[in-house]
Structure 1
């Protein structure tokens, strides 16, 4: 979580980091793929999956920050994650988890049963 906090919790706006993994679940690369305001992120889903396919990634982990300090997912977070997981399934790229991080806490949407 320290790495995610270092990457994501430095700005006042939300940002999304995507960790791409191979077919054995091993780390390939991570990239920031979405930026926004204090309450939302703009993400180009097609770009995300084009990048995953170009890397031959079999899975990915999404992580974004909540500058408010509340790590509970919003309804928009839940809907967007489910949509990403559905598209990933069709393309053969598993969305393993979506983590929401703050300076003090983290929330796993997978463990929380949100998708």
Structure 2
């Protein structure tokens, strides 16, 4: 479905997007979700003797993989912020270069 809405990108919107990724997405995903990871630990014989022998090491492997994925996600978000910073700077330069100056 086509719309007639025009979308304009500005260095200001790029900056706001970067700020939201950094303050909202990163905080929500990394601080909150990654902060929950220690709560998933099953200490000692939490699965029981037999349960620990059957699934204990697999469960710990899954936990380790999840922690690794959260670290990868944090690195990706840092990369997004870095990329958006460069994009904002380049876009601002293009905006400044496209300003028409009139001579009297």
TM over 0.5: no
* Structure with a larger share of its residues in helix: 2
Whichever of the two has the greater Rg, that structure is: 2
TM-score (normalised: structure 2)? 0.28
* Structure with a larger share of its residues in strand: 1
